[in-house]
Amino acid sequence: MDSDWVATAADVFSALGTVGAFVVGFVLLRREQNREAERAEDERRGQAARISAWVEAYRKPDGTRELAFHIHNASDMPIYEVELPLPDPAASGDVEFVGMVPPGQTIRRPAPVAWLRSYVNPEPIEIEFLDSAGRRWNRNEQGSLASAVESRPDPL
């Protein structure tokens, strides 16, 4: 009877060890999959994370102040189809189309003259663009970056 009990206990511990090893292996596999997914997402967002846009006043050579949109591409590749949605209600949803921004450059475009009356300090603005891989991105006024497909509202 004692040997049966010892053999049964050994079988139970062996089964628990096997189940435990399976659980640990599954948990480690899941963690590795999550890390790989994060690395892939970081790689996918790499270029888009290096794009910024803001509005800032500057002095023209004649001494007058002008407000301008600045689009900076700190990446090693150009960005395409750059658009700046204008939040001005009078603009009725207009978009300032910039086109392409070369790598390592800042492009400046005039902002609406009416904005100069309420301008205080440089501030970020919304930008939408295609990265060099053809993915569309949107960075909002708070600096949050999202795939433009994810950030667009669903059509009714």
Per-residue pLDDT of 82-126, as tens digits, reads 998 876 555 556 788 888 999 999 999 988 888 878 888 888 889
Q: DSSP 3-state assignment of 109? A: strand
Q: DSSP 3-state assignment of 13? A: helix
How far lies 41's CA from each of 17, 30, 52, 146, in Å?
Answer: 36, 16, 19, 11
**Structure-token pair, residue 34:** 């999550």
Of 134, 88, 135, whose CA–CA distance to 112 is shortest?
Answer: 88
Per-residue pLDDT of 52-90, as tens digits, reads 999 998 888 888 888 999 999 999 999 999 998 876 555
Task: State pTM to two decimals.
Answer: 0.67
